Amino acid sequence: MTLRMHELLSSGRLCYATDLGAQICGDSLELLAQMPADSVDLFVTSPPFPLLRKKAYGNEDQHLYVAWLAEFAKLARDALKPKGSLVIDIGGAYQSGRPVRSLHQFRTLLTLVDDLDYRLAEEFYWHNPAKLPSPIEWVNKRKIRAKDSVNTVWWLSKSDHPKANVGNVRVPYSESMKRLLKDPEKYYKPKRRHSEHDIGEAFGTDNGGALPSNLLAIPNSQSNDQYLRTLKLLKRPGHPARFPIKLPTFFIEMLTDPGDLVVDFFGGSNTTGKAAQNLGRNWLTFERDESYCALSAIRFMEDRPLDAIEAGISHIESGHSLDL
């Protein structure tokens, strides 16, 4: 690890570690405050949303949400490297008793930019086509609002020119583009558009994929993934608000290099740590709930028999750390 772990352990407990990262149970504000300056390449996280109905994982009230989240973002900025980034996924919500949207995610953005000196590098929108219709009152019952299936994802940076390479996250070509690349002269002739934008011969070059847009269509339909399958076999409850691994994977690939440090300060089921591990990045995750910390180790024990996984979880729950 590139980070001095003993500095973090003074206010948190090491639950488990791999060759690249560590899950630490503790108060994220205290842990972030101990992070060395200019030490983190990327923070990527999904904080609890300020939903009207209280959730088991402890979402914040809407009117307190912006100030609460800004505390974490301020400490994260201090720990970021000059070319580092903060990617934060924030879902929407309705105001209490009204079919009117809360503006918490937009107020959060303005606070982070205006008060904390972050730059908005780009806004992304995560479309979850598998999301169930909600809220029930306005969508299912009264049928006066459409289903809410998009989260805002703010890509914020410490400087105007953060580390980034969109070429790392190219997407498959469309069928029409594949036909063009196979026989460019048949389907396309370079010409100057009315806008004076000159599309040259390079348009027919195969770059291994198309550049992505800022609309990320990623279904959150993981009902049978390894984490949930194992929890079901163990008769254990999983974290109720998991984002799909493809979401942090996209930003880790675009904004970091192998060996860089990725941190998630709302670790939950540790999807971010698993994504970073898969990509050869160093990682740290912070989570205050001991149960979620212990159960997230399942993500790193996919090749172990069920009794060994149960023993590992029990080892963590008894107050020990596990070497994975």
pLDDT tens-digit series, residues 162-182: 999 999 999 877 666 666 666
Query: Known catalytic residues?
Result: 46-47, 89
Q: What is the mean pLDDT of residues 140-152?
A: 90
Contact (CB, 8 A) for 249 and 277? no
Domain shared by 237 and 291, yes or no: yes
How many structural domains is the chain composed of? 2
Does pLDDT of 256 surpass 80?
yes
Within the chain, what is the greatest distance between any pair of CA atoms? Answer: 69
- pLDDT band at residue 56, thresholds of 50, 70 and 90? very low
Q: Does residue 9 share a domain with residue 72? A: yes
Partners of 88 in the β-ladder: 45, 154
Which of 192, 210, 228 is the endpoint of a domain?
210
pTM of the model: 0.86
Does pLDDT of 57 surpass 50?
no
Q: Could you tell me if 86 and 206 lie in one domain?
A: no
Please tell me whether residues 185 and 290 are part of one structural domain.
no
Residues 276 and 195 in one domain: no
Q: Which of 210, 234, 264 is the last residue of a domain?
A: 210
Q: Tell me the mean pLDDT in the region 54-76.
A: 74
Task: Return the closest-CA partner of residue 259 out of 79, 77, 65, 2.
Answer: 2
pLDDT of residue 281: 97
Q: What average pLDDT does this structure show over 82-96?
A: 90
Q: Are residues 197 and 222 in the same domain?
A: no
For residues 263 and 194, membership in a common domain is answered with no
Contact indicator for 58, 15 with CB cutoff of 8 Å? no
- For the cut 50, the answer to whether the pLDDT of residue 28 exceeds it is yes
Residue ending a domain, among 210, 240, 265, is: 210
Categorize the per-residue pLDDT at 51 as very low, low, confident or very high, splitting at 50, 70 and 90: very low
Regarding whether 133 and 92 lie in a shared domain, the answer is yes
Query: Does residue 97 sit in the same domain as residue 221?
Result: yes
Let me know whether 317 and 185 are in one domain: no
Contacts 24+ apart (CB under 8 A), 10-14: 10/34, 12/286, 13/319, 13/321, 14/321
| In a shared domain, residues 179 and 307 | no
Q: What is the pLDDT of residue 8?
A: 62
**Which segment of 3-17, 165-179, 210-224, 289-303 scores lowest on mean pLDDT?**
3-17
The CATH number of the domain where 225 resides is what?
3.40.50.150
Question: Percent of the chain having pLDDT more than 90?
Answer: 52
The mean pLDDT value for 109-115 works out to 96
Domain that holds residue 198: 172-210
Same structural domain, 183 and 294: no
